[in-house]
Structure 1
Amino acid sequence: MALNMYSLLKLVLICSFLPTNSPSSLNYPAVFNFGDSNSDTGGIVAGKAFPLIPPNGETYFLEPSGRFCDGRLIIDFLMEAMELPYLNPYLDSVGSPSFATGCNFATGGSTILPANAVSTSPFSFNLQLSQFFRFKNRVIALLLEDKELQRYLPPEDSFKQGLYMFDIGQNDLDAAFYSSTSEEQVLASIPKILSGLKYGIKRLYDAGARNFWIHNTGPLGCLPRIIATFGKNASNLDELGCIISHNRAANVFNLKLYDICLKFLAQLPEANCTFVDIYSIKLNLISNYSLYGFQQPLAACCGYGGPPLNFDTRITCGVTKNLNGSIVTANSCNNTAKNINWDGNHYTEAANRFVADLILSGNYSDSPHLANAPLILT
């Protein structure tokens, strides 16, 4: 019965994201992003001095760039498609960063629910919102003092005309599975989680935001870390080798998240909402990895332990330490372009490029805004 419900949820999601026929351009003067490590471009490294070490960044930036990846993230490719610079993190002031075309408030480990004593990141969604409102107020005040600062700061009308992006909630689900005694408790927590997001989006709308871009959460149960932790019993795995309960919870979360776009924002007369089905894109990639040129669907590229997951909870990407009397290093794989997963928790640049290309195709979105957007893959 559970598997049938799981299949039904997937079917509903697929039917919800049929491509539209209305052409439009992906053209915004600025982007303001809220999220977790899936779109963090350096926030947690700056805010908590998180030790993100090589080989992170090796593929594109040639050094750690504040991203949990060997290269670029989905948001980087989307910024390229909009012909805008990569977003600088709000928390990083070193090097006189420009915020003329937006700001990134996302930080690794962040949740929608307020952070607590065991949270990885203190910068939960409500705090990211507070940072945004301080940023906006300071920008407006500074521009009144000196118009020359427009070289570094967004003009005031960008706050209304800009795009507000959200990719957050995965860590809330993840934490719920560790703190709950049953899957039912996890599912019961989802409305409370999403109420925080809905409240925050309404605050932004009341402050003048009009263009909202929401990513749903990916297949949490297909991350090597989750499989290594919860997959010791084969009955917990689906036909792909992913954790059934985690993916089922992600689907329920996504259906309720879609309601925010479909029903809640529809009640706001000037709101424009683009809802992107990240879950289906990533599950399609994992399910059909060989068709897209990948060789490893579930193994971490940068990790330790060898097949099938190359992941060990005791050692993270790039770290060298003593395990069971031996000095070992969690090294990068030989060809990152053949792996979907980077470090057990995040995706490689190659996978992020694939996902971004399908986002820009418009086929996984309920909004017409992507119809004329340029593709990335060649």
Structure 2
Amino acid sequence: MEPRKLLSSLFYFSLLSLLSANQQVVDSAHHHHHHRHRHLFDFRPSKLFVFGDSYADTGNIGRSLAGSWKQPYGITFPGKPAGRFSDGRVLTDYLVEIGTALLLIAAKFVGIKSPIPYKFRRVGGKHLRNGMNFAYGGTGVFQSTSPLPNMTTQIGFFQQLIKEGVYNSLELQQSSVALLVLSGNDYSAYISKNGSSQGFPSFITQVVNQLVLNLKMIQELGLKKIAVTTLQPLGCLPFSTAASSFQQCNGTQNALVNLHNLLLQQAVAKLNNETTNDHSTFVILDLNTAFMTVFTNKGDHLGSTRFENPLKPCCVGISNGDVCGSVDESGTKKYTVCENPEAAFFWDTVHPTQAGWRSVYSALQANLQQL
């Protein structure tokens, strides 16, 4: 499948499946493992290692493979296209710059700068001290039709850096956190291959099982704090809500998201039960609930951001087949951009704006304070 089309289908369904069951997972794990969370406060992370897809990618994906390197992506931050699938910052940036996800993992989090993308690893020195981002937009846990490294391969890159001595095991144990982001690209690939609706539950189980294996791989590398996102409500992405003029989420798709998240919740609870070392804990980041909170309130819980229609994207193609960033042979734009990206939750048909991610951060923070 042509990379750009792959990215579209992978992003759309994957983002629709990753966020729904997260809050339940967090609540379940907290209820049964309160003693573990007390130990988390003794941990001071200084490095973040990220594995995943476009919700976390800060520039790994090649310029020829994605529109994230084309105008108008990056117009808010850093002011030009930089490989982020947004007008500005993405999930990874907010987790490290504001401390959202890591605040969940360690109350004494003191701040980590956004880790360098893996493709820039050879710069070495001080650029590596904040960790590394291995995420590639369009990927999943399986090597589907994407030529890009899936999550297992990304973890293999990390293993190789440890083997080469770029990072040492003791350092990882004492100061590092891993974040795994899965936004549903595996499910997009399943649909593109004409997978049956009857086979979907079984495939969802396969995806979650592989994700759990990836979590275990990270644990075996010595990291004591490992966070994983649930699927966001894929049925609420503009790709799905366009049919209702961006007024209504697709309940069928969100039901599949709920299954994914429920299985993930159960799997993470089981991992924590099996972990003998109290200092080694798996945590679920409740992106699904965070998204839904923003949609319900039309903004974050603090009221600092207001989205009149959270389901409507800012950057859209002019006609069928056009996407954000499309141009014709003469370079004429085949897309439109809203007047104020700060007033939009979604940037394109799959990815939030910087303002959208900021509101998700606010909603996440409120949930994390309940731990």
Alignment correspondent of 1:101 = 130
Shift of 1:338: 0.8
Rounded to whole Å, the distance in 2 between the matches of 1:91 and 1:261 is 30
Alignment correspondent of 2:315 = 302
Contact 2:219 2:226 in 1 (8 A): no
Contact 1:221 1:245 in 2 (8 A): yes
SS in 2 for 1:84: coil
Structure 2 residue 306 is matched with structure 1 residue 293: yes
Shift of 1:139: 2.9
Rounded to whole Å, the distance in 2 between the matches of 1:318 and 1:94 is 30
Shift of 1:27: 3.2
Superposed CA deviations along residues 181-210 of structure 1, whole A, max 9, x for unmatched, are 543322221111112111122222222122
Letter of the 1:184 partner, please give it: Q
1:132 to 140, 155, 158: 158
Contact 2:52 2:135 in 1 (8 A): yes
SS in 2 for 1:250: helix
Alignment correspondent of 1:336 = 341
Contact 1:303 1:330 in 2 (8 A): yes
Cα distance 1:296–1:216, how it changes in 2: closer, same or farther (>3 A)? same
Contact 2:344 2:353 in 1 (8 A): yes
SS in 2 for 1:38: coil
Shift of 1:49: 5.5
Cα distance 1:12–1:358, how it changes in 2: closer, same or farther (>3 A)? closer
Q: Which has the higher contact order (CA 8 A, sep 6+)?
A: 2
Alignment correspondent of 2:8 = none
Contact 2:183 2:232 in 1 (8 A): no
Shift of 1:155: 5.5
2:210 to 196, 206, 209: 196
Contact 1:112 1:169 in 2 (8 A): no
Cα distance 1:171–1:26, how it changes in 2: closer, same or farther (>3 A)? farther
Rounded to whole Å, the distance in 1 between the matches of 2:60 and 2:314 is 23
Alignment correspondent of 2:120 = 92
Cα distance 1:251–1:240, how it changes in 2: closer, same or farther (>3 A)? farther
Shift of 1:322: 7.0
1:61 to 63, 78, 82: 78
Q: Give aligned-pair identity as a percent.
A: 23
Contact 2:55 2:183 in 1 (8 A): no
Cα distance 1:322–1:241, how it changes in 2: closer, same or farther (>3 A)? farther
Contact 2:22 2:288 in 1 (8 A): no
Shift of 1:221: 1.1
TM-score, scaled relative to structure 1: 0.77
Contact 1:30 1:158 in 2 (8 A): no
Q: CA RMSD in A?
A: 3.1
SS in 2 for 1:65: coil
Rounded to whole Å, the distance in 2 between the matches of 1:109 and 1:359 is 24
Contact 1:322 1:328 in 2 (8 A): no
2:363 to 355, 358, 362: 358
Rounded to whole Å, the distance in 2 between the matches of 1:322 and 1:34 is 36
Shift of 1:164: 0.9
Structure 2 residue 283 is matched with structure 1 residue 266: no
Letter of the 1:217 partner, please give it: L
Contact 1:274 1:365 in 2 (8 A): no
Structure 2 residue 179 is matched with structure 1 residue 165: yes
Contact 1:30 1:100 in 2 (8 A): yes
What does residue range 116-131 of structure 1 map to in structure 2 within 5 Å? 116=144, 118-119=145-146, 121-131=147-157
Shift of 1:328: 4.7
Bigger Rg over Cα: 1
Contact 1:37 1:109 in 2 (8 A): yes
TM-score, scaled relative to structure 2: 0.78
Rounded to whole Å, the distance in 1 between the matches of 2:24 and 2:156 is 36
Structure 2 residue 308 is matched with structure 1 residue 279: no
Unpaired runs of 5+ in structure 1? 1-9, 141-153, 306-311, 369-378
Alignment correspondent of 1:373 = none
Contact 2:118 2:133 in 1 (8 A): yes
Aligned pairs, number: 325
Contact 2:322 2:335 in 1 (8 A): yes
Rounded to whole Å, the distance in 2 between the matches of 1:135 and 1:331 is 42
Contact 2:315 2:335 in 1 (8 A): yes
Shift of 1:35: 0.6
SS in 1 for 2:283: strand
